[in-house]
């Protein structure tokens, strides 16, 4: 249920209502909006609860939440959410660009990439240290050594670090180094991992499973939100279809669809979504045209020597050209790509 507080409800009345929600055995999530505060009361609902809460001082109305996901829904929070993690801002009018290699491979590789993507305008650095590979014989990532190199690249450039966590056992370790915990497509329905990142204080980039529906994606996000972590970005990275000309099929309709259903920001991954470098720039621009709140792009100093996903990675020059193209598309739409320059005083 959503307990909608009156516009002039006091903090005391809000706190009192939270206590009453919890006394009914429900979990409460307080969402402070620009207009008014609402309390999402989650748990098994009984008819008499609605009446009991509705009679509370400062309460305007109590309504059922119709969507299967609750805290993620627009019904609970009509205003879009902006997720902030260090230099990265995504959502509610901020369009952030996350760029970097599929995997961290060496100091030289990650630090040079961080400088190059920053110079071209990226607001965060990506790089996998723990890699979920289809084959156990493929490169599995540099693990903690890779996390240390990401932290070094952040120190040198100021870019926030986005990196994947593949196991609940590693959440604490990865959270020590990362600004954003990426939950990969293969783990979208690893519910214990979702709970663990929900308990961490880091922002989360949740990638859509290759065969997951939108409702399944939103319910996966709900696991994270339900643990008290509100900083969730949804990532469309393409789904598996009968089509073979691209690695996955990138459905950009996910952007306006998700915007209608949830307040959480939507990031598009045209690298995994197409699987071919030459398709990435156009799909990045198309994602912006469809209203994406962020992009995540694979960039490598020498894609042909990459230990993973070289065939879909941009070179530094290709990334700079992609950013230029995206800026032009964004400008035509009256949208601004967020800058990584520190704000200067007027
Ligand atoms: C990645 O970002 O490198 C990755 C493994 O992505 P996904 O989980 O979308 O396959
Ligand atoms: Mn990859």
Mutate to test the pocket of ligand 1, among 133, 141, 186, 246 (most ligand atoms within 8 A of CB): 186
Helix spans in the chain (H): 11-23, 47-54, 107-120, 144-157, 171-177, 191-199, 214-226, 254-261, 270-274, 280-289, 316-332
- Tell me the ligand closest to 164's alpha carbon: 1
pLDDT tens for each residue of 105-161: 999 999 999 999 999 999 999 999 999 999 999 999 999 999 999 999 999 999 999
Nearest CA to ligand 1 atom 10: 185
Of all protein residues, whose CA lies closest to atom 3 belonging to ligand 1? 102
Res 291: pLDDT: 98
pLDDT average, residue stretch 217-221: 98
For the segment 21-64, what is each residue's pLDDT rounded down to a tens digit?
Answer: 999 999 999 999 888 999 999 998 788 999 999 999 999 999 99
Task: Say which DSSP state 249 is in.
Answer: B
Atom index in ligand 1 nearest the CA of residue 237 equals 9
- In this prediction, residue 76 has a pLDDT band, given cuts at 50, 70 and 90, of very high
pTM to 2 decimal places: 0.96
Q: Which ligand 1 atom sits closest to the C-alpha of 308?
A: 3
Lowest-pLDDT choice from 12-16, 182-186, 308-312, 342-346: 342-346
The 10s digit of each residue's pLDDT in 171-214 is: 999 999 999 999 999 999 999 999 999 999 999 999 999 999 99
Position 346 scores a pLDDT of 64
Name the percent of the chain lying above pLDDT 90. 96
Ligand nearest to the CA of 313: 2
pLDDT at 342: 77
Q: Which residue minimizes the CA distance to atom 9 of ligand 1?
A: 185
Tokens 């990401």 — which residue?
150
Q: For the residues 272-284, what does the mean pLDDT come to?
A: 98
DSSP-assigned letter for residue 209: P
Could you give the CA distance from residue 220 to residue 206 in angstroms, rounded to a whole number? 8
Does 345 have pLDDT greater than 70? no
> Per DSSP, which regions of 35-144 are E strands?
37-42, 59-63, 83-85, 88-90, 96-100, 124-126
**Distance, CA 45 to ligand 1 centroid (Å)?**
38
The answer, yes or no, to whether residue 309 has pLDDT greater than 70, is yes
State the chain's mean pLDDT as an integer. 97
The whole-angstrom separation of Cα 30 and Cα 298 is 37
pLDDT tens, position by position, 232-243:
999 999 999 999
Cβ–Cβ < 8 Å for 3, 39 = yes
**3-class DSSP state of 47:** helix
Give the pLDDT score at 46: 80
93 alpha carbon to ligand 1 midpoint, in Å? 25
Q: Above 70 in pLDDT, residue 330?
A: yes
The residue whose CA has the least distance to atom 2 of ligand 1 is 102
Residues 307-329 have a mean pLDDT of 98
* Mean of pLDDT values over 64-74: 95
Pocket of ligand 1 (CB under 6 A): 102, 128, 132, 184-186, 207, 237, 272
Return the CA Rg of the chain.
21
Atom of ligand 1 nearest to the CA of 238: 9
- The set of residues, in sequence order, having a beta carbon less than 8 Å from that of 238 and lying 6+ positions away, is 210, 246, 247, 248, 249, 250, 251, 269, 272, 273, 274
Closest CA to 280 of 314, 305, 328: 314
| 3-32 average pLDDT score | 96
Structure tokens that stand for 233 in this block: 């970005």
State the closest ligand 1 atom to the C-alpha of 131, by its place in the atom list counted from 1.
Answer: 5
């Amino acid at each position: 249920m959503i307990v909608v507080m009156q516009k002039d409800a006091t903090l005391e009345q809000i706190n009192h209502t939270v206590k009453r929600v919890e006394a009914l055995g429900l979990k409460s999530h307080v969402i402070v909006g620009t207009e008014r505060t609402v309390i999402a009361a989650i748990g098994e609902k009984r008819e008499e609860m609605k009446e009991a809460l509705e009679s509370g001082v400062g309460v305007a109305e109590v309504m059922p939440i119709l969507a299967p996901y609750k805290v993620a829904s627009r019904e609970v929070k009509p205003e879009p959410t902006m997720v902030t993690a260090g230099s990265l801002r995504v959502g509610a009018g901020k369009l952030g660009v996350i760029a970097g290699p599929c995997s961290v491979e060496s100091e030289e590789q990650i630090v040079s990439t961080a400088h190059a993507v920053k110079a071209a305008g990226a607001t965060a650095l990506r790089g996998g240290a723990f890699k979920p590979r289809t084959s156990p014989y493929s490169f599995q990532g540099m693990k903690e050594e890779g996390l240390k190199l990401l932290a070094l690249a952040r120190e040198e450039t100021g870019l926030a670090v986005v990196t994947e966590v593949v196991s609940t056992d590693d959440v604490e370790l990865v959270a020590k180094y990362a600004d954003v915990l990426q939950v990969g497509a293969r783990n979208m329905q690893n519910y214990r991992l979702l709970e663990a990142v929900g308990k961490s204080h880091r922002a989360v980039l949740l990638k859509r499973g290759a065969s997951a529906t939108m409702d399944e994606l939103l319910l996966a996000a709900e696991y994270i939100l339900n643990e008290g972590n509100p900083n969730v970005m949804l990532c469309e990275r393409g789904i598996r279809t009968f089509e073979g000309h691209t690695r996955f099929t990138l459905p950009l309709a996910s952007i306006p669809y998700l915007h209608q259903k949830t307040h959480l920001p939507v990031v598009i991954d045209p690298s995994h979504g197409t699987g071919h470098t030459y398709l990435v720039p156009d799909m990045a621009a198309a994602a912006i045209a469809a209203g994406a709140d962020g992009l995540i792009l694979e960039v490598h100093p020498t894609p042909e020597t990459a230990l993973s996903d070289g065939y879909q990675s941009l070179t530094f020059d290709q990334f700079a050209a992609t950013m230029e193209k995206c800026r032009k598309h964004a400008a035509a739409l009256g949208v601004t790509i967020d800058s990584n320059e520190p704000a200067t005083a007027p």
